[in-house]
Structure 1
Amino acid sequence: MASLRSVIVTLIWLAGCLLICTLFAWTLLGPASWSRPISRLIVRFTHWLFRIGLGITYEIRGTLPDRPVLVAAKHQSAWETFGFCLFFENPCYVLKQELTWIPLFGWYLKKQRMLAIDRAGGAKALRALLARARAPLAEGRPLIIFPEGTRVPPGEARPYHPGVAALYQSLELPCVPVALNSGLVWPKPLLGKRPGHVVVEVLPEIPAGLDRKVFVARLSREIEAASARLLEDGRTAQAR
């Protein structure tokens, strides 16, 4: 029954997102400020639907600074790929290029000038990312990056990609680490969602200017340790 409920709610979500994107596609013809409210509408609709349909709730511990900083977050599910739009006015995501190829959805990403990167492009793609990252910063937007580069199941960790260190060092930005446990309720399979509580924890800011290796070691250590703690707390709560 729980699996069937997840399937039904997810299908309603997909249909609702498609409807919203289609009805307001005309906003893509104007400046980015036209379509930005539509993106936020989709995010609010998503959280409302999964709260009433599946009992998925969330909380944020701490405050994310809405200014030009580098936000490096754990990546366990699709939840955080849109969830941060609740906490920022106009965030800029570093995301895989393939997402911008999705009809309608990808058009909104392009209009909001997200930083799409070719993950197979190597050093050339990284240089292009660094060059383009200065524009959103000049607009006062925070940069959001998932250092592992892909979703990683709860309890697992992967090496952090060089992009986060390159952005940190080249742009001379402070970095805000973020831990979470979203994979407990929103696992990688699209239809496998379950009731639960997502916790997003903002960790102490890492100042600019650290050695690259020192920065990556500190970032991964703090994010992984906090995410492991949130995971254990979440599993304990689910078992009650």
Structure 2
Amino acid sequence: MLLVRSLLFNLAFYLMTAAIMIAGLPTLASRRGVLWTARTWARATLVLLRAICGIRVEFRGLAHIPPGGVLVAAKHQSALETIALVAVLDNFAYILKRELLWLPLFGWFLSRSEMVAIDRSKGSRALVLMNEEAARAMRDGRRLIIFPEGTRRPAGAAPAYKFGVAHLYDRLGVPCLPVALNTGLFWPRNRLARHPGTAIIEFLPPIPPGLPRAAFFQEVQDRIEAASDALLPPGFPRPAPQGAARGPATAG
């Protein structure tokens, strides 16, 4: 039954996504309209997950979300959080790979919503361009979402944060909102199965601007990893952290 329900969800999800994108074509006239369409899509996805797969998403710490521009640094275990964060963060922007803008139809919405797209082929220059685009997003009071590890990692895997998040924090001069989660237990990466249960996405107290980059980099890792570990079942393996990697982090 688990596999059947997962297949049914995937079918319903892609049909619903196509329907919302087609119906939402008129909203391409404005960024605000596209963001409204994205939040509608995200909330509809969460309804499908609960109805078909028995996965409920619980948001904690919403009161910690500050007003105005903020850097949102989230743990990345699953595709689920890339969708769910859209449902609760207004005026959001993702840092993502430029290649996603080339996708038919979906890429149109990404481009019109003014996401921060990174060309990884530019190497260290990509970090400079990311900072420039992110600064523009902050001037618009946006919630800039970044996955500091750059790619999805299994629940309980040793962390592999990239130092790009510290460069961004230092450049922007805004609070950083850490986000812990356990979504990989229910929507594992690169797997079809969707496991029933309550996935938790927890917004932690913001880290104020002004910390030295190295101090911030350690602080954001410590907060996210400790809170994410606390959301895992008792006895779940918790490997020791690995060293930091260099380069920009994107949605992946």
Instruction: Indicate conservation of the 8 Å contact 1:160/1:220, yes or no.
Output: yes
Cα distance between partner residues in 2 of 1:122 and 1:158: 22
The residue that corresponds to 1:136 in the other structure is 137
What does the per-residue CA deviation read over 1:4-60, in whole Å, with 9 as the maximum and x for residues that have no partner? Answer: 2101211111111012112222322x1212322211111111011111111111112
The residue that corresponds to 2:51 in the other structure is 52
Matched residue of 2:231: which SS?
helix
Cα distance between partner residues in 2 of 1:20 and 1:234: 41
Cα distance between partner residues in 1 of 2:191 and 2:115: 23
Aligned residue runs from structure 1 range 187-202, under 5 A: 187-189=188-190, 191-202=192-203
Instruction: Indicate conservation of the 8 Å contact 2:187/2:195, yes or no.
Output: yes
Cα distance between partner residues in 1 of 2:6 and 2:201: 22
Instruction: Indicate conservation of the 8 Å contact 2:93/2:116, yes or no.
Output: yes
Residue 155 (1) aligns with residue 156 (2): yes
Aligned residue runs from structure 1 range 93-172, under 5 A: 93-172=94-173
Larger helix percent: 1
What does the per-residue CA deviation read over 1:188-209, in whole Å, with 9 as the maximum and x for residues that have no partner? Answer: 1252211111111122221211
Q: Which amino acid aligns with 1:36?
A: L
Name the % identity.
Answer: 44
Q: Which runs of 4+ in 1 moved over 3 A?
A: none
Matched residue of 2:233: which SS?
helix
The residue that corresponds to 1:181 in the other structure is 182
Q: Which amino acid aligns with 1:92?
A: A
Q: Which amino acid aligns with 1:19?
A: A
Instruction: Indicate conservation of the 8 Å contact 1:184/1:234, yes or no.
Output: no
> Per-residue deviation at 1:162?
2.3
| TM-score for the superposition, normalised by structure 1 | 0.92
Instruction: Indicate conservation of the 8 Å contact 2:8/2:52, yes or no.
Output: no
Cα distance between partner residues in 1 of 2:88 and 2:187: 19
Cα distance between partner residues in 2 of 1:229 and 1:98: 35
The residue that corresponds to 1:90 in the other structure is 91
The residue that corresponds to 1:20 in the other structure is 20
TM-aligned CA distance change 1:205 to 1:194, over 3 Å: same
Cα distance between partner residues in 2 of 1:78 and 1:234: 25
Instruction: Indicate conservation of the 8 Å contact 1:157/1:224, yes or no.
Output: no
Q: Which amino acid aligns with 2:113?
A: Q
TM-aligned CA distance change 1:105 to 1:69, over 3 Å: same
The residue that corresponds to 2:241 in the other structure is none
Instruction: Indicate conservation of the 8 Å contact 1:66/1:142, yes or no.
Output: no
More off after superposition, 113-122 vs 50-59: 113-122
Cα distance between partner residues in 2 of 1:169 and 1:162: 11
In structure 2, list runs of 5 or more residues that go unmatched.
Answer: 237-252
Instruction: Indicate conservation of the 8 Å contact 2:43/2:84, yes or no.
Output: no
Instruction: Indicate conservation of the 8 Å contact 2:40/2:87, yes or no.
Output: no
Q: Which amino acid aligns with 1:152?
A: R
**Matched residue count:** 234
| TM-score for the superposition, normalised by structure 2 | 0.87
Q: Which amino acid aligns with 1:37?
A: W
Matched residue of 1:200: which SS?
strand
Cα distance between partner residues in 2 of 1:62 and 1:158: 23
Cα distance between partner residues in 2 of 1:209 and 1:125: 24
Residue 31 (1) aligns with residue 30 (2): yes
Matched residue of 1:43: which SS?
helix
Cα distance between partner residues in 2 of 1:66 and 1:103: 34
What does the per-residue CA deviation read over 1:100-136, in whole Å, with 9 as the maximum and x for residues that have no partner? Answer: 2221112111111011112343210110011111222
